[in-house]
Chains A and B, each alone.
Chain A
Amino acid sequence: MTMQIPTASEMNAELIKKLFESAEAGMSLRNAMSTLEGNGLKYFNINANIETIIVEVLRRYFNALCSSLTKAYADNSPAVITLDESYFTFGQSHFDDGNQFLRSGLHRRLYDAHSGGIDLHKALILECTGCIPFFQIEADLRHSVENIKSEGLKLMSAALIKELYLDSIHRTAIRSKGRFLVAETYPCRGLGVHEKIRELRRIDQALIAIQNQSDIDFGDAVEGIIQHLGNCNHSELIPSRTCFGKGGDLEIHCFKEKYEFRFSHAGFDAIAAFVFMHGSDKNTETIAKITESIQAVA
């Protein structure tokens, strides 16, 4: 069952619960530390002040919430759900609270209240949660969830353009070679294996998304090269003329100076369609120029 987006009141209630629990635990911890210090043990260095507790609990709660929602709704896309931190972080100074909902003045009072009792702490907690715009947060989360898929697709379009150097001004983005359209990338060099693998994973992620929307099968070319890089020694390069994915809609041919991504015409058209549908204006422009130039040559 897909995770539900918590309502404003649910978030409020849950936060208060967590904060109260943490405040009480913090109080107990301080008392325990005090007793231990009184008995001569002085090496505890735990900051369980009410200010720290509130800042950390707030931060962790909202980050975890965003992370869970991303996991539930992103569907393998690179998009992530985030929140404006001004909703739950404190202003830096009285003169520069910016857009923060939690003002620096309240933050100051939390510092001053560290030796206060649990009732004071709870009152301050309620004052803090009262400043947080839960309704706005709920709205933002709903909006992000609705758009995460398209955002993800947009990011994947951008990744394809970038990682395949389709927007390069230094070279022809795509050239025709037999039955293929070829994009060139830089090869993996020595210590850059992990970065190269990351690049390839981004390409792979995008190609899988395209496959899911079309009847193109890019095969296992990218996975093949990732595995190979993953297994090889850092000082080794992929031997020149190694080919991954032979016979499919994507073949990757490795040479000393480059990797050639050889797409079938149908495969490249699928990429172009994907970018047209989901890409930013800039990426759409890039792909449009490429398809027109292919058309002119054909």
Chain B
Amino acid sequence: MNNTNTWNQLDALKSRGGQMGKAGSMGALHAHRERTLSQFFTPEWITEFAWKTLLPAFKKNQAYSLLDNSIGAGSLFRFATPEQFSLSGLDIDGELMGDVSRILDESGFDIDIRHAGMEQVILSRYSAALINPPFSIPLSSPTLQPYPGVTHYGKHGPDTSALSHEYALAQALAHSDMVAAIVPSTTTEKLKEFGDAWKRLRAIYTLPSDAFRDEDVQSAKTDLLIFGRQTVGAAKNAPDVVRIKRRSIDRSSLPEDMFQFVCRSTNDINTKAIRVVGIETSKPVIDLPSTDDKRVILTRAGRDIKLTFFDGATEGKVKNALFRKCLHSTRKHRLPKKTKYSGQYQLNLDVLALQDAPFSALDQVARVISGAGGLPFITPDLRNGLKAVVKQHAKMTVPYGRTVFRKGTPKFKATARTTGLLNRHQKGAAVAMGEEVTALRSSAGFLVDCSKGLFDCEHDKFFSTFDVEDHVLAESYWEEIAPPIKASYPQQITALENRARTLGLDKWLSWDYQLTDLAELAFRGSGICAWQMALGKARLAVSLSMLLNGASFLVVKSRLIDEMERELKDLGIDPGMFQVISSLADTQELKKINIISYEKLKSPIHAAYPKLTFAKRLKGRVDNIICDEGGLLTNPLSQQSGSVWQLGARRRYIFDGTPTDYPRDFLPLASWSMGEERSYQPYSLSRGHIEQCLFLTASKQQTGRNAFHDHYIQFEWATNEFLDTGKGAKREVPKIKSQNLEMFRQWLGPIVKRRVQQEPAVTKHVKFPVPTLHPPRIIDWGNDIKHLGLYVQVVEEFANWYRDYVKTQELNEKGLNLTMILARLEACFKAANVPSTVKGFGQPFNKLTSKEIACIDLIEEEVSKGRRPIVFARNPVVLKRLARELDKLGISNLVFTGEETIKKRTQRLNEKIREGDAQVMLASLGVTQDGLNLHQLNTFIFYNRSWRYRQTFQSIYRLIRPLQKDEVYGYFLDLEGSIDCYMAQLGDWKAVANDTALDFGEQTTDDEEFVHFDAFIQRFLEGLPVLKEQLENHRNRHAA
């Protein structure tokens, strides 16, 4: 077939975009794109121009390979000849691919054309790429290759989301020496963000706006970009104006020479076939010879069943019968990485353990094998292995003993305010208006006994439907919601308790709950000890280390190393039994208890070996790990977490009184401590989710993380404010899905051992004061016009930046980067709380702010009552300013910040506060969280709020210690109308969420609308006009 004939046939293939007409509206645009695949073929004159631009790089008598990653009708290849060029292409339009392949093949071209999307392939190398990709189709796939600036964090994880034209360009550049690409002009403007694209750019040709009118696109701003290889030699330093040609072109334009423009022939680059992800065709799966031995031996391999075959045919038949069908992730459903076949989990011991009759299920697997012609033989080792897994499941799923605080009484009467539905899962679960019912407390909320029967009702629902007898609301009680593990495993727990006594641990853990919990934790072999502050976690950690077999590591924050060492000495432990690991030499011989800091774990053993960390060095040598303040493991991506994970260990514990800020943070903690993808802990961070139905098929299996989020994490429309604009989006709220709250608590029950200061088992031995939290003091700006003016200015600047940022992100179809927003918001925080550190707004602000004055007044007030307050603030500058003023007033004080070394500041703390009589402590929030006991102080004042609930809570509990003899008072200072008030709302929500997850607290009702961060920002900005008006009024009064 001659060239003209070829292209005539290809020209006859019409593009979808050209056939379908325009989208009627923005709303229809997405649907239109989906139908047309944004497919618009390239006009011939543009192809000719591009081709003639690239042509000088092709030498005669050399062969080259060309790529088009959205080939369409192949129009970009129209000037190629079969003698010199091989063609590679892909497109998702299957119909078209068939025709194009046939026509090009008949024309004598060497072709490699696939029916696949650009996100589904792994490409080879090509001499040149000519592309006119579909514009603005969002790609979302776990198989996207990462390209900086192009791929983003998506539904499937990092680098799994991109825009089609950007991805096509990046892909073409990554795999080709030269590229001619037609892209939207907006992409040209962003080229500097796309890796080395800008450095390879040779020309920007602006196309006429009606260039695609033959495709029924009347107006489009597009550019033809020409890229070469990276410049070399002296040309590397050529300025852009020399390297890059820019002009508008039209039909009459002539091409020009490009700067240092070469490409390699197929001799130099070995162009291989395009690989479509998910299809492996390279090697045979079964290579056993054919014999008559049809035996199939089923043995245990860890937590899986291994099959041993002796005949290739049997292997094929049995595997087909068991595995049944190949599975692939799709855009709509992402499978875990290791899930390849629908039937593979019949060979997973955890899944078998979840069946109603695990051994019958194993026999069923054997029957499938027999049915496929094999002779199954289940080894005793496998049966014992399954037995062990089943036993382990039973052991690991019995919850830790737990007592929780309940408002109300266990059983009471209530009257339905309205006719209402009690739940959606029980038929007939409704009450009539005015009906009197009896309500019984349950772990999920209430059991309501009404005329229609007995039904579950969640807490929120209950209180929105019923009026409760007055006396009930005033009452409260403690309820044992899970008995001690001893009730289920008396012998095992008793044995552990006896062993603890033999070791003398009962002398350290003299309160009975402590010994009970020690035994439970040792029995479980892993988990989270979430004892509230001051209940003896340090002693418990040490005792657990002594009780467990093998070497134990106590991992603590570096500033607490000395405290832990002191604790061990105070307990009278033989110094030969413990050590602090601070050097490589310390790792030679491990002791019974080894104390190491998180920082040390992640650090290299020697500067010469930066990748050989202490964690790597100690890997495999540790039997037990106890992570103090292990809540930091909620971020699995941090170096500290990475090191802890790397350390490994058979038994793993997290000790932390406030392990999480958000319910979702329990996933990484559970995954590390309990393991992942287990029958008793079915979720995971980056693997699959285990459940009973996997025995039937894995086709719907979710990743562990997705399943956890689906089950528990609440997504709501941010607020109704967004709904009317049509720009609403679902956002996570720190609330557990109400319908699965019970399931969440059941999951968490065997993982977290919780004790709170006020529960009966504790108060039997020690009484802790319940801090009296005064309502926040709202500080008026007063006559502080300068401060208010500065604050308004800063907020306005933030507001302008934020609005532009949101607009830009929306235009580029990208999400908002909260880290960036928070960083910007910091300026507003500083302007409100530490205006003296704000730069760039005229003269420095040095006089005391109204908030500082209010704080000093409050300190004076407390001191005059004989109390000893501690003031928490984020910024040491504030604390020093307050200290100066207190000095003037003759009030003795200690400033305690990270500006001093730990040793030095601890020494001063001991001198002035613990043993001394300084009246006030001024402490920065960053250093007064964990491990610091300050029972000498009895009032806390938060000069500013923290974004983190945990930080606030931990700080308060420095004062709530067993030795605290006074009542503890608490104050928060919020500057009126400022960022303080909004941070307060966020903090409250997080506190409730945490309380609900950990302490069976009650989630707020829908009336209290969660202020998601988006809405928080909006409301914060909406407060600006009010402040401006206030400022104006102040100024007017002042002028008058």
Contacts and interface: CB of A to CB of B under 8 A. Distances in A.
Interface residues of A, number: 22
B187 interface: no
A291 B717 CA distance: 21
B418 interface: yes
Contacts of B430: 272-274, 276-277
Interface string A265-293: 00001101110110000001100100110
Interface string B696-707: 000000000000
B433 interface: yes
A93 B424 CA distance: 57
Contact of B724 (A210, A247, A288): A247
A83 to B, nearest CB: 29
A215 interface: yes
Interface of B: 417-421, 423-425, 427-433, 452, 717, 723-724, 728, 737, 739
Q: Which 5 A-B pairs have the closest CB atoms?
A: A276-B430, A288-B427, A213-B419, A273-B430, A295-B424
Given A247-B724, A284-B428, A270 B739 contact: no
Contacts of A178: 717, 723, 728
B428 A288 contact: yes
B614 to A, nearest CB: 47
A285 B432 contact: no
A144 to B, nearest CB: 21
Given A272-B424, A292-B424, A213 B739 contact: no
Contacts of B425: 291-292, 295
A214 B418 CA distance: 4
A213 B421 contact: no
A298 interface: yes
A273 B457 CA distance: 13
A178 B423 CA distance: 20
Nearest to A288: B427
B419 A273 contact: yes
Contacts of B431: 273, 277
Nearest to B464: A215
A277 B739 contact: no
A269 B424 contact: yes
Contacts, number: 64
Main secondary structure of the interface of B (DSSP, over half): loop
Nearest to B427: A288
B452 A276 contact: yes
A214 B427 contact: no
Contacts of A191: none
Contacts of A284: 427-428
B419 A277 contact: yes
Nearest to A241: B27
A179 interface: yes
A247 B723 CA distance: 9
B424 A214 contact: no
A270 B417 contact: no
A272 B717 CA distance: 23
Question: Max chain A CB contacts within 10 Å: which of B418, B421, B423?
Answer: B421
Contacts of B427: 276, 284-285, 288, 292
Contact of B420 (A247, A269, A288, A295): A269
B421 A272 contact: yes
A294 B428 CA distance: 15
A215 B1006 CA distance: 14
9 contacts: A269-B420, A270-B418, A270-B419, A273-B431, A274-B430, A285-B427, A288-B427, A291-B421, A298-B424
Given A273-B419, A276-B452, A288-B428, 15 more contacts: A178-B723, A214-B418, A270-B420, A272-B424, A272-B430, A273-B421, A273-B431, A274-B419, A274-B430, A276-B421, A277-B452, A284-B428, A285-B427, A298-B737, A298-B739
Given A179-B717, A179-B723, A213 B429 contact: no
> Which of B418, B452, B717, B737 has most A Cβ within 10 Å?
B418
B724 A213 contact: no
Contacts of A270: 418-421
Contacts of A288: 427-428
A96 to B, nearest CB: 45
A101 B896 CA distance: 102
Given A179-B723, A284-B427, A215 B417 contact: yes
Nearest to B428: A276
A269 B429 CA distance: 11
A294 B425 CA distance: 9
Nearest to B422: A273
B657 to A, nearest CB: 33
Nearest to B717: A179
B433 A214 contact: yes
A274 B429 CA distance: 11
A257 B430 CA distance: 34
A74 B206 CA distance: 76
Given A273-B431, A284-B427, A284-B428, A295 B421 contact: no
Contacts of A273: 419-421, 430-431
Nearest to A246: B724
Contacts of B419: 210, 213-214, 270, 273-274, 277
A272 B433 CA distance: 14
B433 A213 contact: yes
Contacts of A276: 421, 427-430, 452
A269 B464 CA distance: 13
Among A178, A247, A269, A277, max chain B CB count under 10 A is at A277
Contacts of A295: 423-425, 739
Contacts of A269: 420-421, 424
Contacts of B739: 295, 298
Contacts of A298: 424, 737, 739
Interface in A169-185: 178-179
Nearest to B434: A213
A285 B431 CA distance: 17
Nearest to A274: B419
Given A179-B717, A214-B418, A214-B419, A294 B432 contact: no
A197 to B, nearest CB: 27
Nearest to A276: B430
A292 B420 CA distance: 16
B420 A214 contact: yes
Given A179-B717, A213-B433, A247-B724, A294 B424 contact: yes
A298 B418 CA distance: 24
A80 to B, nearest CB: 23
A269 B419 CA distance: 10
A272 B432 CA distance: 12
Nearest to B425: A295
Interface in A115-149: none
Interface centre among A269, A270, A294 (most CB of B within 10 A): A269
Contacts of B418: 213-215, 270
Given A213-B418, A276-B430, A291 B452 contact: no
A268 B165 CA distance: 44
Contacts of B429: 276
A150 to B, nearest CB: 11
Nearest to B452: A276
A215 B419 CA distance: 9
A277 B425 CA distance: 16
Contacts of A214: 418-420, 433
B161 to A, nearest CB: 22
B636 to A, nearest CB: 28
A282 to B, nearest CB: 12
A212 to B, nearest CB: 8
Contacts of B724: 247
Nearest to A287: B427
B456 to A, nearest CB: 12
A298 B424 CA distance: 11
Contacts of A210: 419
A269 B431 CA distance: 12
A62 B574 CA distance: 103
Nearest to B724: A247
Given A270-B420, A295-B739, A213 B717 contact: no
